[in-house]
Amino acid sequence: MPTTGTSISAPQNYHSQWTTEVIQVLNSDPERGLSSTEVDKRQSEFGKNELKGKPGKPAWLRFVLQFNQALLYILLIAGLIKALLLQWTNAGVIWGVTLINAIIGFVQESKAEGAIAALAQAVTTEATVIRNGQKSRIPSQELVPGDIVLLTSGDKVPADLRLFNVRNLQVDESALTGESVPVEKSTADLRPDTPLAERVNMAYAGSFVTFGQGSGIVVAIANATEMGRISQSLEQTTSLSTPLTRKFDKFSHQLLYIILGLAAMTFAVGLGKGQTWPAMFEASVALAVSAIPEGLPAVVTVTMAIGVNRMAKRHAIIRKLPAVETLGGATVICSDKTGTLTENQMTVQGIYAGGQHFQVTGTGYNPQGEILFEQQPVDLQTGYFPALADCLMAGLLCTDSHLAKNSNGNWSVVGDPTECAIIIVANKAGWSQSEMTKLTPRIDGIPFESEFQYMATLHDNRDSESRIIYVKGSVEAITSRCEQMLNAEGELEPMADLELIEQRVVTILAKQGMRVLAFGKKIVSHGQNSVDHEDIASGLIFLGLQGMIDPPRPEVIAAVRACKTAGIQVKMITGDHITTAKAIAQQIGLEKDGQVQAFDGKQIAQMDNSQLAHAVEHGVVFARVAPEQKLRLVEALQSQGEIVAMTGDGVNDAPALRQADIGIAMGGAGTDVAREASDMLLTDDNFASIEAAVEEGRTVYQNLQKAIAFILPVNGGESMTILISALFARDLPILSLQVLWLNMVNSVAMTVPLAFEPKSDRVMKRPPRNPKEQLLSRTLFQRIAAVSIFNWILIFGMFEWVRQTIGDINIARTMAIQALVAGRIVYLLSISQLANVAARKIQGQAVSINDGRAMSVGILGTVLLQIIFSQWDVMNLLFKTAPLNLQQWLICLLPAIPMIPLAWFVNRIDPTN
């Protein structure tokens, strides 16, 4: 028999070989899989199952690309002209500053990209394998050639597989072939020259199972897969571009043209007035560099990256960067119920079987508790409760889950909590799952899918003359297929009136918020080897119902309230029963205008688009919703102008997740398909984390607006100064080099801390931002204009005054700049949260030191830099500044005083906090 090594790694036409042949070549076993020792051996031989793409652009290239901005062209050319004029210091400083700017940009961009890439990698996919004869879930990276992998709908295919067992298996291979229609798979061997897209007996890494199940043997992993071959030729890139950054780009381009026009005009007018051309060149360059907010792009990147990090800390992983800003504008959150709004810790509390009601005691996933009938414990050994027994048996056998005892002796769920609750109640009656499965082995099954709302399994019957199908699912799905039912004596009776069951039983349980499942069975001939949807379309025997509680998550109640204050509607979209859903909605405070309006899937199906638009505005609960209907709901909400965040976990939720403005998938539960379609992933599956992400999204946007509100007035003030002075042929109060210092050094030191600003107390007390609102809103524009004018008066006034009193032009310029920065510090304090943080600290509230740290460091750094700027002789030489004496310093601080009422005033017209 061939061993591993050469034969495995050699390329093979696995699709043209018999499955048995492939399994033999790969030295595996379809039933038992590989042994642990064999896995270890192959892991060290083949490495991890990870795609390694071609490395992205080399660092040096990314660095050079930092200079690829119109503004930097201007600077580089300006430097060149200065050099031609033999003004070497000037040229050197201009080039030096552009270099520093590029370094800062490069470092920040790399950091942001790194952070985002790291998040994406933190999301690992898992695969179900058979090893050592046992089924287990492992991270996909640990797969080796020869592993036996089980696929089920919703899975991402983790490696290239040769399929040897399929069951209605359909795979979406669009990532590989571009063909969006899923391919139906089979196992037969094919001709060697079959093209990739037609190799129906293979499942390729990176494609998605959209339907059915199958099993296959891993024939290639990592870069040896077909996907790996493609990705080797693709560059790995992390895009930092979002709608907002694109808006910024557009904005700066427009600005640039205006500036260039103005600069040209200044140049011409000045020459006309008899100024020398080097003087006018200086003025034009100063104007151009003064008007452009050089520090802004860096701040945008940092702010976004920090937002992404903060969200990750609060269990929301951003998969697509634009979601960071969209989140802040969300107006509606549509959430799943089970597991997201509720704990997903089910406990069966009521059973209805054979016309009798039973109560169940005990909580959680431990088998302590009893089943009570008329207050008396039920003993299945002595008492005669055949319908109850059958109902419990169905629950024990018709399942894909089990309970496992972990090291500290607690029981934990492997699989679906709903199913585990049902297993536990059978345990309470004294039955063990493993024993019963041995007595009546499972032959085949249809796993649960939201679309069908039921699952079924086929078992050997104990009489060995027949086989038995057990089914469980939603009340409607099961009862509509039943023709007979068991009575208390275990005899068959015609099926009761469905409405009667619904009214009497379901409502009693569901009104308390219980999730109700129905159970049924069907006896079939011994020859039957598989179970299909048609087999259980009718003729079932109804066994009973089980109702289980699933308490709301306590933190969700507060999160829902927070959303409401923030003007965000919360809607529940669930596959569960309408009565159950309504009860839970009431418990978590979902009502709108004092009531919980609920619609179910049937009603939705009958509505036309305008009726639906009305329903989605007023309804808060949408129950028994089929996955396809989710898409309609999103579209209806969007047609009303809403920005929709929507959760989803199933295969069929993907279209709705894509359509939603923010598609949210679950990191814990949920399928790979849903995850791939999503913009954001919740690591704890918790609704409260969505609310947290919205809060952070709003903070990101707010901090960006603060940065704009902070940076632009300085550009405004500078350019007004230069424009006016140049046009009136006066000495420039500020030189182009000094402008560069202010815009690139001073602005960065003072603005980057804004990205770290903690969220304001009021961030969730305001309505969502209007998505159509311009980046530069009217009030923000007014604020910028007001502060710009102040800054102009400051620079111009200080310069002219010093020039006329002290007379030295260098001192005049230096003092004008220092006065500007002093006013700037006050202004920064007025828009930052520092004062609020300090106030909270004084009031004894818990504040994190991080909250104020960045801002304090930024301001201290600024002060230090400004002192160096004027007191150090090297700087005097480079930037034509002059050292100031104490009296002059104090004069520079004076303008900070009128800044206080101005800041107060602009904060009133345009609140930033």
Active site residues: 336
Least distance (Å) from ligand ADP to the CB of residue 531? 14
Closest CA to 604 of 637, 569, 640, 580: 637
Q: Residue 125 class from Cβ within 10 Å (0-12 exposed, 13-18 middle, 19+ buried)?
A: middle
> Is there binding between residue 577 and ligand ADP (CB under 6 A)?
yes
Token pair listed for 364: 């959680």
| Residue 393 or 623 having the CB closest to Mg ion | 623
β-strand partners of 519: 472, 544
The mark string for 738-757 relative to Mg ion (x by CB under 5 A, - otherwise) is --------------------
> Is there binding between residue 652 and Mg ion (CB under 5 A)?
no
β-strand partners of 162: 202, 217
> Is there binding between residue 204 and ligand ADP (CB under 6 A)?
no
Which region, judged by CB under 6 A, interacts with ligand ADP, from 71-79, 261-269, 290-298, 334-342?
334-342
> Is there binding between residue 672 and ligand ADP (CB under 6 A)?
no
Q: Residue 45 is inside which H or E element, if any?
A: helix 36-46
Task: Evaluate whether 723 touches 266 at the Cβ level (below 8 Å).
Answer: yes
From candidates 109, 142, 173, 336, binder to ligand ADP by CB under 6 A: 336
| Residue 493 or 628 having the CB closest to ligand ADP | 628
How many residues touch ligand ADP (CB under 6 A)? 20
Out of ligand ADP, Mg ion, none, what residue 517 binds, judged by CB under 5 to 8 A for its kind, is ligand ADP
Least distance (Å) from ligand ADP to the CB of residue 330? 21
Least distance (Å) from Mg ion to the CB of residue 338? 5
Task: Evaluate whether 469 touches 535 at the Cβ level (below 8 Å).
Answer: yes
Integer Cα distance of 67 and 76 in angstroms? 9
Cα distances (angstroms) measured from residue 293 to each of 241, 267, 474, 709, 786: 19, 22, 60, 11, 17
Cα distances (angstroms) measured from residue 22 to each of 146, 320, 836: 9, 40, 68
Least distance (Å) from ligand ADP to the CB of residue 236? 36
| Coil, strand or helix at 341 | coil
Least distance (Å) from ligand ADP to the CB of residue 338? 3
CA angle, 451 then 454 then 457, to 5° = 130
From candidates 252, 338, 702, 866, binder to Mg ion by CB under 5 A: 338
Which region, judged by CB under 6 A, interacts with ligand ADP, from 285-293, 446-454, 737-745, 810-818?
446-454
Integer Cα distance of 714 and 525 in angstroms? 85
From candidates 474, 719, 830, 832, binder to ligand ADP by CB under 6 A: 474
| Residue 574 or 659 having the CB closest to ligand ADP | 574
Out of ligand ADP, Mg ion, none, what residue 699 binds, judged by CB under 5 to 8 A for its kind, is none
From candidates 27, 108, 453, 736, binder to ligand ADP by CB under 6 A: 453
Which region, judged by CB under 6 A, interacts with ligand ADP, from 142-150, 190-198, 231-239, 572-580?
572-580
Q: Are strands 183-184 and 160-172 parallel, antiparallel or unpaired?
A: antiparallel
Question: How large is the C-alpha radius of gyration of the chain?
Answer: 35
Cα distances (angstroms) measured from residue 765 to each of 177, 698, 762, 912, 913: 48, 11, 5, 13, 11
- Under DSSP, the state recorded for 502 is I
Question: What DSSP string describes 586-636?
Answer: HHHT--BTTB--EEEHHHHHH--HHHHHHHHHH--EEES--HHHHHHHHHH
Least distance (Å) from Mg ion to the CB of residue 474? 11
Which region, judged by CB under 5 A, interacts with Mg ion, from 220-228, 335-343, 561-569, 881-889?
335-343
Out of ligand ADP, Mg ion, none, what residue 457 binds, judged by CB under 5 to 8 A for its kind, is none
From candidates 108, 140, 338, 546, binder to ligand ADP by CB under 6 A: 338
Q: Residue 401 class from Cβ within 10 Å (0-12 exposed, 13-18 middle, 19+ buried)?
A: middle
Token pair listed for 348: 């069966």
> Is there binding between residue 416 and ligand ADP (CB under 6 A)?
yes
From candidates 217, 296, 455, 536, binder to ligand ADP by CB under 6 A: 455
From candidates 350, 552, 575, 663, binder to ligand ADP by CB under 6 A: 575
Site for ligand ADP in 883-912 (CB under 6 A): none
Integer Cα distance of 425 and 429 in angstroms? 7
Region of residue 890 (phi > 0: left; psi between -120 and 50: alpha; otherwise: beta): alpha
Least distance (Å) from ligand ADP to the CB of residue 592? 20
Least distance (Å) from ligand ADP to the CB of residue 103? 51
Out of ligand ADP, Mg ion, none, what residue 162 binds, judged by CB under 5 to 8 A for its kind, is none
> Is there binding between residue 66 and Mg ion (CB under 5 A)?
no
Q: Which residue is nearest to ligand ADP (CB)?
A: 575
Enumerate binding residues for Mg ion (CB under 5 A): 338
Residues that bind ligand ADP (CB under 6 A): 336-338, 416, 418-419, 448, 450, 453-455, 472-474, 515, 517, 574-577
